[in-house]
Structure 1
Amino acid sequence: MTSGKKTEKYKLILDAAVKVFAAHGFHKAQVSKIAKEAGVADGTIYLYFKNKEDILICLFKEKLGELVEKFHLSIEQTTNAKDALRRVCEIHYGELEAQVDLAFVTQIELRQSSLELRKEIGKAVKPYIVLIEQLLLQGMEEKLFRQDLDVKLVRQLLFGGLDEVVTSWLIAGRKYSLSAQIEGTINFYLNGIKA
């Protein structure tokens, strides 16, 4: 089996897992359903993943890794930390609004998983938190953000706020545009941290 075929099947399985976890919930999802959705034999799953929990952890690593990569590419085009934080918010809301199944898995299923599983997924979230921290420090250096910021606290508040807005949007049945919340969100945070 070539590396390209391995990568292709790995991605097929992860994409199928997003759909199955979103439709049935993590606990009710069966590996056989994921295999069927991916168009592979049940045993093929175990060539790539140890178990269902491993699929969820890898899914978070892959999808959040892709998101963080988009953040980095986008903020390279910005001129300051304020613009960079705006881009992070735009991408966060835009990507999850466009990928509703992924939003359900990342926002709803994570909260229902075991503490051990949440710890593993927390490791996948860390690069995102670190990116926010770097942008806060950059904004302080640029004299755009208050010098007395508790950076560790503010990074959690920023991430947690974005996270909660997406969760509320899902729970409300997606009756409004998530992307329409960008200005209100970013203005709230920037007003709180501006120099």
Structure 2
Amino acid sequence: MHFMRTRLQKEDFSEPKGIPNDPRKRAKYMAIVEAALAAFSEYGYHDCPVSKIARKANVADGTIYLYFANKEEVLISVFQEKINRLITDIEELTEDCTNSWEKIEVLVRYHMTTLGNDRVLANFLQIQLRQSSSNIRIGIAAPLKKFYGLIEGFVLKGQKEGVIDSAINANIARKLIFGCFDEVISCWVLSRRQYDVTERIDDVLYILGRALVVDLENR
């Protein structure tokens, strides 16, 4: 029974778990996911009991446990839903790009714009998710690895196309790309100043282009 589970196994969250196929149940599941996103961002993961999630989802506390084993599983499911949505959107948006540097540009713009226009999601991904236990790190590993793989795949293909400098280690390039926009977004979330983080997108792409692209001036 869900109530009896006290620990998470490594394989539990390699893919989204417990997602119902029935449309009505799926809608309830997603309502809980969205409520949890808002609750974790508002109260912080550690200070957010399941009751606060239930209240925001307009369901009874016990309903949460029909879909999730515990609060850790809720957090993991929120991450899986959101990161998989980002990956799917980026894959669709980059289908018609003429080269892999354009794909990287689209990825950076879309990621930074999405989070820049949704501070709740940005707070969750940049802050709340990083105050987590080893079980949660295991749970989010698969979709995060997929996101990293998407970036690194663009780099590798760009090197084959002659667009990205082939002398650069693709794994290091991926870390540079992710680390650059990730740090800019984190600073924005934590800052007391009010500013539009999407105005930093061109700066991020300029730096990345100078670091990675072959013959950038003629592209």
Query: What's the TM-score once normalised by structure 2's chain length?
Result: 0.85
Distance (whole Å) between structure 2 residues aligned to residue 155 and residue 103 of structure 1 = 20
Q: Residues 20 and 3 (structure 1 numbering): CA distance in 2 closer, same or farther, change over 3 Å?
A: same
What's the offset of the Cα at 1:2?
7.4
Counterpart amino acid of residue 42 in structure 1: D
What residue number does 1:43 align with?
Answer: 62
**Following TM superposition, where does structure 1 have runs of at least 4 consecutive aligned residues deviating by more than 6 angstroms?**
none
Distance (whole Å) between structure 2 residues aligned to residue 2 and residue 27 of structure 1 = 30
Moved more, 50-59 or 151-160: 151-160
2:215 corresponds to 1:158: no
What residue number does 1:185 align with?
Answer: 204
Distance (whole Å) between structure 2 residues aligned to residue 9 and residue 117 of structure 1 = 23
Distance (whole Å) between structure 1 residues aligned to residue 153 and residue 110 of structure 2 = 17
What's the offset of the Cα at 1:108?
0.5
What residue number does 1:14 align with?
Answer: 33
Q: 5 Å matches for 1:24-39?
A: 24-39=43-58
Distance (whole Å) between structure 2 residues aligned to residue 174 and residue 95 of structure 1 = 20
Distance (whole Å) between structure 2 residues aligned to residue 38 and residue 174 of structure 1 = 31
Aligned partner of 1:111 among 119, 125, 130? 130
Higher helix share: 1
Distance (whole Å) between structure 2 residues aligned to residue 174 and residue 7 of structure 1 = 39
What residue number does 2:187 align with?
Answer: 168
Q: Residues 2 and 71 (structure 1 numbering): CA distance in 2 closer, same or farther, change over 3 Å?
A: closer
What residue number does 1:71 align with?
Answer: 90
Moved more, 53-62 or 122-131: 122-131
What's the offset of the Cα at 1:194?
1.6
Count the aligned residue pairs: 195
Distance (whole Å) between structure 1 residues aligned to residue 28 and residue 175 of structure 2 = 35
Counterpart amino acid of residue 161 in structure 2: E
What's the offset of the Cα at 1:174?
5.7
Distance (whole Å) between structure 2 residues aligned to residue 131 and residue 184 of structure 1 = 22
Matched-pair identity in %: 35
SS state of the match for residue 207, structure 2?
helix
What's the offset of the Cα at 1:190?
1.3
Aligned partner of 1:87 among 95, 106, 117? 106
Q: 5 Å matches for 1:121-160?
A: 121-160=140-179
Query: What's the TM-score once normalised by structure 1's chain length?
Result: 0.95
Q: Residues 151 and 97 (structure 1 numbering): CA distance in 2 closer, same or farther, change over 3 Å?
A: same
SS state of the match for residue 127, structure 2?
helix
What's the offset of the Cα at 1:77?
2.3
Moved more, 159-168 or 61-70: 159-168
The Cα RMSD (Å) is 1.4
2:23 corresponds to 1:4: yes
SS state of the match for residue 27, structure 1?
coil
Moved more, 68-77 or 113-122: 113-122
Q: Residues 179 and 13 (structure 1 numbering): CA distance in 2 closer, same or farther, change over 3 Å?
A: same
Deviations 1:93-132 (A, max 9, x none): 1111122111101101122112331232232211110000
What's the offset of the Cα at 1:12?
0.2
Counterpart amino acid of residue 27 in structure 1: H
